Chain A
Amino acid sequence: MTECMLKIENVVAGYGYGPDIIKNINLELNKGDIKCIIGPNGAGKSTVLKAIAGIIKPRNGSVVFNSDNGEINLSGMETYKIMKTGLCFIPQDRSLFGTLTVSENLTMAGYTLNDKHELKIRTEEVLETFPRLKERLSQYAGTMSGGEQQQLIFARAIILKPRVILIDEPSLGLAPAIVEQAFQHIENIASQGVSILLVEQNARRGLSSSNYGTVMDLGEIVFEKEANEVLNDDRIQELYLGKRKK
């Protein structure tokens, strides 16, 4: 039986005192799955991720995360505490500290790890996965190429061995070859049993790496299917993938 890692029930959220951006979102994420949320601009895709990560507080509903220490409700928790539970969020703007070195960025990624020795071992592990970073340890993160920054982002994400990674638009502003690499990383990470919830504007690319696709519009989930079914769904082809009705 598949293990449910993240269960979102009736989540409502919005910004400041503004209106509800997402309404009654229900979502489940199983172990090792890649789920891609697609939908038009302003559908509330990113808001779902932000509500899970606690960057905006859900106004209603629950976000139950199956952490190393059992199930916990993330709803209402502060972001930095959520990040200690084994959940990781990669936001749109990449979240690297540009004027910190690669090595300092990795130290910060392991900030919640109090065991220095353990951090060292894990840093070496991720540097083995991303050997390019090894040569750049003392370089400022902001001065690296797009592809190298991408590697650092994923290196930072996996250093704490999270159970769930939320990724907001991995393809945004990247050259096509680097987008390919990004999805390669995502698939590799998921193959090790990490669950990934993805928001992607490039629906076709996002879905082709995912197991499941969730379609959102106007702050609600329209439907959810296996990724290849979503890809072949007539409504989707017409609306988001740019195929004309015959």
Chain B
Amino acid sequence: MFIIQTIILGLCLGFVYALMATGLTLIFGVMRIVNLAHPIFILVGAFVAYYLFVLYGIDPIIAIPLCAAVTALLGAITYKLVFEKDAGAQTYSEMTVLLTFGTAMVLDGTLSYFFKNTQRITSPPYATDAIFLGELFLPTAQLYSGLISVGLIIALGLFLKFSKLGIAIRATSLSRVNAELVGIDVKFVCLFSFILGCALAGAAGSLVSFVFSFFPAKHWEWIAILMSLVVLGGMGSILGVVISAAILTVIASLVGAFIAPAWSTLVFFVALFLMLLIKPHGMFGKYLE
């Protein structure tokens, strides 16, 4: 029973991680931007959710669209200022590592200046509640955030699979030139994908705000885990990131439960290390030039 409990909790957390990482992998897939600033967008979303709750009593789940809107706007501004100019350059991916690192530093500094390094957590009523199913004990915070993450990921998947713009996003991620040759406005698609990725970060931030305690420098911790999930899943693959997040978080939870919580983070990095040794393209990685 204890094992099932751990697995369920791990899965819930895994889907939250998956949602946190989908934006990252989407942005990389379409634009080849290695967005080290992605977790700080999540953090911005979390701060928005926190203050909406503290100041106006708005439930973080209801605040998801607002958080997404704020990070989407921030993403649009960042993209226009920092990333658009050099898109299509040969060493774009390499450049973006530095650009996004700088962006993360700037936003980190700004957040630290205003909010100081105190731990915060949003505490809606369900944050400390739990559902009992027989002997199973399910904290509602994890349960809700996990379910909403799955819902959002499925919505994203359906959008990418069936809508015209979604197909155009996938086409652009396969080849910018060929996408342009069928009349796709590649610049717009890139801007849109970046905004979509940032909106997903904001939505994830809102959920994260009542699952984890957070502070401005927290994103450095997240980027390490998220990048390992993205690389494991195969850079650019959303399905890959969801599967790797689900599996690894469950393993990490089991390690945490049976060995010691301090060892659980190690799971992500050991997995990353092994994957890079065995299959550097990741589980569902496309061939990268």
Chain A residues with a Cβ under 8 A of chain B: 53, 55, 78-80, 83-84, 89, 91, 95-100, 104, 107-109, 111-112, 156
Chain B residues with a Cβ under 8 A of chain A: 164, 167-168, 170-171, 174-175, 177-186, 286
What are the residues of chain B within 8 A of A96 when measuring CB–CB? 178
The answer to whether A108 and B180 have CB atoms under 8 Å apart is: no
- Can you list 13 A-B pairs, Cβ within 8 angstroms, ordered by A? A55-B177, A79-B177, A80-B180, A83-B181, A95-B178, A99-B170, A99-B174, A99-B286, A100-B174, A104-B171, A107-B164, A108-B184, A156-B182
The answer to whether A108 and B167 have CB atoms under 8 Å apart is: yes
In the A-B complex, the 5 residue pairs with the smallest Cβ-Cβ separation, listed nearest first, are: A112-B183, A83-B183, A79-B180, A95-B178, A80-B180
Complex partner residue of B180 from A83, A97, A100, CB under 8 angstroms: A83
CB distance from B23 to the nearest CB of A (A): 21
What are the residues of chain A within 8 A of B179 when measuring CB–CB? 108
CB distance from B88 to the nearest CB of A (A): 12
Residue of B nearest to A84 (CB): B183
With A and B bound together, what is the CA distance between A208 and B182 in angstroms? 29
Complex partner residue of A80 from B164, B170, B186, CB under 8 angstroms: B186
What are the residues of chain B within 8 A of A104 when measuring CB–CB? 167, 170-171
CB distance from B285 to the nearest CB of A (A): 12
The answer to whether A111 and B182 have CB atoms under 8 Å apart is: yes
Residue of A nearest to B185 (CB): A80
The answer to whether A100 and B171 have CB atoms under 8 Å apart is: yes
CB distance from B86 to the nearest CB of A (A): 14
The answer to whether A91 and B181 have CB atoms under 8 Å apart is: yes
Known: A98-B174, A99-B286. A89 touches B181 (CB 8 A): yes
What are the residues of chain A within 8 A of B182 when measuring CB–CB? 83, 108-109, 111-112, 156
What are the residues of chain B within 8 A of A112 when measuring CB–CB? 182-183
What are the residues of chain A within 8 A of B184 when measuring CB–CB? 80, 108, 111
The answer to whether A97 and B175 have CB atoms under 8 Å apart is: yes
With A and B bound together, what is the CA distance between A111 and B286 in angstroms? 24
Question: For the complex, would chain B's binding face be called helix, strand, loop or mixed by DSSP majority?
Answer: helix
What are the residues of chain B within 8 A of A84 when measuring CB–CB? 183
The answer to whether A80 and B183 have CB atoms under 8 Å apart is: yes
Complex partner residue of A108 from B171, B186, B286, CB under 8 angstroms: B171
Question: For the complex, would chain A's binding face be called helix, strand, loop or mixed by DSSP majority?
Answer: loop
CB distance from A17 to the nearest CB of B (A): 13
The answer to whether B178 and A53 have CB atoms under 8 Å apart is: no
Give me 5 other A-B pairs in contact (C-beta within 8 A), A80-B185, A108-B182 excluded: A79-B177, A79-B181, A99-B174, A104-B171, A111-B164
The answer to whether A108 and B168 have CB atoms under 8 Å apart is: yes
Residue of B nearest to A83 (CB): B183
CB distance from A234 to the nearest CB of B (A): 38
CB distance from A143 to the nearest CB of B (A): 14
With A and B bound together, what is the CA distance between A55 and B175 in angstroms? 13
CB distance from B281 to the nearest CB of A (A): 14
CB distance from A108 to the nearest CB of B (A): 5
The answer to whether B181 and A111 have CB atoms under 8 Å apart is: no
Known: A53-B181, A83-B183, A95-B181. A111 touches B168 (CB 8 A): yes
Residue of A nearest to B286 (CB): A99
CB distance from A16 to the nearest CB of B (A): 10
Residue of A nearest to B178 (CB): A95
CB distance from A96 to the nearest CB of B (A): 8
Residue of A nearest to B164 (CB): A107
What are the residues of chain A within 8 A of B180 when measuring CB–CB? 55, 78-80, 83
The answer to whether B181 and A100 have CB atoms under 8 Å apart is: no
What are the residues of chain A within 8 A of B171 when measuring CB–CB? 97, 100, 104, 108
Known: A55-B177, A99-B286. A111 touches B183 (CB 8 A): yes
Known: A80-B183, A80-B186, A108-B182. A100 touches B167 (CB 8 A): yes
What are the residues of chain B within 8 A of A107 when measuring CB–CB? 164, 167
Residue of B nearest to A142 (CB): B174
Residue of B nearest to A156 (CB): B182
Residue of A nearest to B174 (CB): A97
What are the residues of chain A within 8 A of B183 when measuring CB–CB? 80, 83-84, 111-112
What are the residues of chain B within 8 A of A109 when measuring CB–CB? 182
Residue of B nearest to A85 (CB): B183
Residue of B nearest to A50 (CB): B177
With A and B bound together, what is the CA distance between A104 and B173 in angstroms? 14
What are the residues of chain A within 8 A of B186 when measuring CB–CB? 80
What are the residues of chain A within 8 A of B185 when measuring CB–CB? 80
CB distance from B282 to the nearest CB of A (A): 15
What are the residues of chain B within 8 A of A108 when measuring CB–CB? 167-168, 171, 179, 182, 184
Interface centre among A79, A83, A84, A100 (most CB of B within 10 A): A79
CB distance from B25 to the nearest CB of A (A): 15
